Amino acid sequence: MGIVIRGDGIAACCCGQLLGSAGFAVMREETGRTPVPALMLSRRTQRLMCDVFDKADLFDGFARVEARIVQWEKSSSPVRIPHSAVVISEDELLGRLNFSAGHQRSSDYQPSWTVFASRPLPSPIAEHRFGSRVATVLPADLADDLESAACWIESLSNGWLFLLPAPSRKGWLLAVGAAHDTLLSASRLVARQIRSLGPPAGQFPACPVIADPFCGLFDQTRWLACGSAALAFDPLCGDGTGNALREAILASAVIRAAFRGEPEAELLDHYRTRLLYAFRRHLQLCNDFYTSARQGPWWDAELELIARGLEYCERESRKASPFRYRLQGFELHGV
Ligand SMILES: Cc1cc2nc3c(=O)[nH]c(=O)nc-3n(C[C@H](O)[C@H](O)[C@H](O)COP(=O)(O)OP(=O)(O)OC[C@H]3O[C@@H](n4cnc5c(N)ncnc54)[C@H](O)[C@@H]3O)c2cc1C
């Protein structure tokens, strides 16, 4: 009944919670990656997280975002869209979740299942990347007259900007595509909200990526990847954490169903198809957003790669079998 969870983020934490509370012996391996400085979590994701961790007050006291101010289509005026989210750093979130996920793994421990919940994945697993964009993250001091409960999104000819508020007139700028100063010099919306910027805190890939395969047999151990180790999402869609959580719920349900005696091959087929469909939905969303912001060769090149991703999903989904399971609560049942 031993399970190793390799990872540092919300997917690892969620698997640790759901498998640990079901009575499995969970060992943890850390990867030691840099934590994400700020995450905006929608109300839907907050609710799901409160359910998984059985803590109704998980998000009490965090900074709230009540509107998105968006200048997306070329030459459009900013639009104010009501929103309901909190802003929280990954460290704070995992601290509130009291993330420990069992004991550290000893070198001779042979688990029944391994969950890869953060990169890197073991070779020879491939990764298909459907975009070339990279995000630079910078701490920002915000303008005095800025509306503090809003986030700001703007498309430009060579990329896009996202400004997320944090308490005390601080915030985080995400610059995707060209260098942040190139994007800011052309900005009509986001640049006005910033008083000064600190040095870049990091660079992250910001395009859709799918691992191939993301579950199977490896060294006699059954394994699954979940969270951004399996599917990485463009941060534009704003729900990477919610997706990581849903994948972790399904991964944990697959493992529990396998221990109940359900056939592993069928369970893994189900997992593969559900994640593939989620990835296809994400690419379709990216395609819609990038088409409406399209203003030159940078956007065309990214759209071309998104189209390749959709073709990949089309090819892979032809191999999928019909669903034989349905998730009810946190358990998989046959349909
Ligand atoms: C700058 C940035 C801003 C984001 N903002 C939001 C947001 O506002 N709301 C939201 O829901 N999601 C956001 N995300 C995505 C969110 O962080 C992930 O979807 C979520 O944390 C996945 O959890 P996980 O357990 O799968 O994490 P992991 O797989 O452990 O990874 C967590 C994040 O770190 C990045 N990462 C992993 N390894 C490395 C590495 N070696 N070098 C650099 N980066 C690495 C991943 O791309 C992922 O985004 C953001 C991601 C980044 C990078």
Domain of 227: which CATH number? 3.50.50.60
Test site for ligand 1: of 241, 275, 285, most ligand atoms within 8 A of the Cβ:
241
**Do 104 and 33 fall into the same domain?**
yes
| Domain hosting residue 251, numbered range | 2-37+89-131+207-282+317-334
Q: What is the pLDDT of residue 103?
A: 56
What does the pLDDT read at residue 217?
80
Interacting residues of 266 by C-beta distance below 8 A, sequence separation 6+: 324, 325
The CATH number given to whatever domain includes residue 145 is 3.30.70
Model confidence pLDDT, tens digit, residues 127-140: 999 999 999 999 99
Q: Check pocket membership of 8 for ligand 1, CB cut-off 6 A.
A: yes
| Residue 70 reports pLDDT greater than 80 | yes
pLDDT-above-70 percentage for the chain: 96
The answer to whether residue 60 sits within a structural domain is no
3-class secondary-structure state, position 163: strand
pLDDT of 144 higher than 70: yes
Same-domain pairing of 151 and 255: no
Please check whether residues 186 and 252 belong to one and the same domain. no
Q: Whose CA is nearest to atom 7 of ligand 1?
A: 39
Under 8 Å between Cβ of 100 and 28: yes
Average pLDDT for residues 110-129, to the nearest whole number? 91
Same structural domain, 257 and 115: yes
In a domain? residue 261: yes
Does 45 fall in a domain? no
122 and 146: one domain? no
Å from CA of 228 to ligand 1 middle: 7
pLDDT at 158: 96
In a shared domain, residues 267 and 127: yes
| Ligand 1 binding pocket includes 16 (Cβ within 6 Å) | no
Cα dist from 230 to 30, 211, 212, whole Å: 17, 5, 8
The confidence score (pLDDT) of residue 105 equals 59
Question: For residue 51, is it within any domain?
Answer: no
Q: Does residue 240 share a domain with residue 108?
A: yes
Instruction: Judge if 105 and 201 occupy the same domain.
Output: no
Q: Which two tokens stand for residue 325?
A: 């399971």
Number of domains, the chain: 2
- Out of 175, 205, 235, pick the residue that ends a domain: 205
Q: How confident is the model at residue 214 (pLDDT cuts 50, 70, 90)?
A: very high
Residues 138 and 265 in one domain: no
pLDDT at position 168, please?
84
Give, for ligand 1, the residue of 29, 204, 234 to mutate: max count of ligand atoms closer than 8 Å to Cβ. 204
- Would residue 306 count as lying in a domain? no
Ligand 1: does its nearest atom lie under 6 Å from the Cβ of 244? yes
**Do 188 and 270 share a domain, yes or no?**
no
What is the pLDDT, as a whole number, of residue 100?
63
The ligand 1 atom at the shortest distance from the C-alpha of residue 241 is 11
Q: pLDDT over 90 for what percent of the chain?
A: 81
Q: What is the mean pLDDT of residues 215-220?
A: 79
pLDDT tier, 104 (very low <50, low <70, confident <90, very high otherwise): low
9 lines ligand 1 (CB under 6 A): yes
Q: What is the pLDDT of residue 242?
A: 97
Is the residue at 75 inside a domain? no
The verdict on residue 292 lying in a domain is: no
Distance CA 219, CA 203 (A): 33
Average pLDDT over residues 229-249: 96
Lowest pLDDT segment from 110-114, 144-148, 168-172, 306-310 = 144-148
Tell me what the pLDDT averaged over the chain comes to.
Answer: 93
Identify whether 186 is part of a domain: yes
Pairing of strands 126-129, 25-29: unpaired
The predicted pLDDT at position 231 comes to: 98
Distance CA 233, CA 130 (A): 10
Report the atom number in ligand 1 closest to the C-alpha of 90.
21
From 69, 64, 18, select the one nearest 42 (Cα to Cα).
Answer: 64
Which residue did the predictor score with more confidence, 98 or 274? Answer: 274
For residues 111 and 224, state if they share a domain. Answer: yes
Residue 143 pLDDT greater than 90, yes or no = yes
Least confident of 19-33, 53-67, 88-102, 200-214: 88-102
Domain final position from 170, 187, 205: 205
Res 33 pLDDT > 90? no
pLDDT for position 238: 87
**Where is the domain boundary, 161, 176, 205?**
205
Q: Evaluate if residue 101 carries a pLDDT over 60.
A: no
Residues 109 and 229 in one domain: yes
